[in-house]
Amino acid sequence: MGIITKITTQQKNQDRFNVFMDRGSGEEFAFSVDSDVLIKFQLKKGMEIDEFSLMEIQYQDDIRKSYNLAINYLARRMRAEKEVRDYLQKKEVEEPVIHEVLHKLTAQKYLNDEEFALAYVRTQANTTDKGPDTVKQELKEKGISEQILSNALRAFPLEQQIEKAVKIAGKFFNKNSKESMRIQKQKLEQTLLRKGYSFEVIQIAISETETDNGDEEMEAIRFQGEKALRKYRQLSGYEFQQKMKQALYRKGFSMDLIEKYLGELENS
């Protein structure tokens, strides 16, 4: 049991107050509270507070402080409920307090996993080159349920997935034109898989962007052939032919094209 002797405003935070009490041995600092908690419990000088009331005041103040932390965290961007929970846990907020804060944020519509998931899918679909599998995995890591995921991913339709994959494929083929078409396709498949596109979408994207250009393939084998030549130039005859064939075959070129290129070398 104690009596409030003084309430002062904190210098660095005008929304928080220091409460001083006398428990029988003179005035001393007792606790600090948020302005909302101060008003809720109508704290004032001369008020008598027992230990139970003090515990309730401090519990409500913990909720208020944690709520303010969460609001500041949410101010940066939308968050999933799990993100806010994890953030508060890192701040060493106790579980009962976290529960109260999340309940309050949800009631006030600051937290809504359905809206968050839908906004997240739309943003990733419109501003990044990620495929739906990657977006889905990221949302799973943020604690979004399967049902909410399924509904949100409808905002990333197949047509849009194909359009994005085709753009990636077009840029990829232009950038890697010095490699054989077989190697290009293998690398592109791996790239699109890593980005989260399905095999169905990948095959459509490749079929719409790959070119059957003999001149480009010939230029590619000449480029790769020059690199092999620098390595095997000291060889001759059968050994040179075999080493060159092996090197170019590993680069994905057909034997017919390799023979044509080696014929060029002999006639040059």
Q: Which domains does the chain have, with CATH numbers?
A: 113-155 (1.10.10.10), 158-211 (1.10.10.10), 218-267 (1.10.10)
5 CB-near residues (< 8 Å, 6+ apart): 20, 21, 22, 27, 45
The DSSP 8-state label assigned to residue 176 in this structure reads: T
Residue 166 and residue 240: Cα distance in Å, rounded? Answer: 40
C-alpha dist (Å) from residue 187 to 131, 182, 193, 206, 212 = 16, 9, 10, 11, 17
Task: Give the chain's end-to-end CA distance (angstroms, integer).
Answer: 104
Instruction: Enter the pTM of the model.
Output: 0.75
Question: Closest Cα to residue 44, out of 33, 58, 56?
Answer: 33
Q: Which of 223, 244, 222 is closest to 233 using CA atoms?
A: 244
Report how far residue 258's alpha carbon sits from residue 230's, in angstroms, rounded to the nearest whole number: 17
Burial degree of 239 (CB within 10 A; 0-12, 13-18, 19+): exposed
User: What is the rounded CA–CA span in Å between residue 101 and residue 118?
Assistant: 23
d(CA 78, CA 71): 11
Q: Mean pLDDT in each 10-residue stretch from start to end of the chain (268 residues)?
A: 92 92 91 93 94 94 96 95 97 96 97 97 96 97 96 96 95 86 92 96 90 71 86 85 87 84 81
User: How far is 241 from 237, CA to CA, in rounded Å?
Assistant: 6
Q: What is the pLDDT of residue 48?
A: 93
**Which pLDDT value is given to residue 214?**
62
Residue 213: its pLDDT value, please? 60
Write the DSSP symbol of residue 46: T
Which residue type, as a one-letter code, is found at position 42? Q
Of 156, 186, 184, 182, which is closest to residue 170 (Cα–Cα)?
A: 184
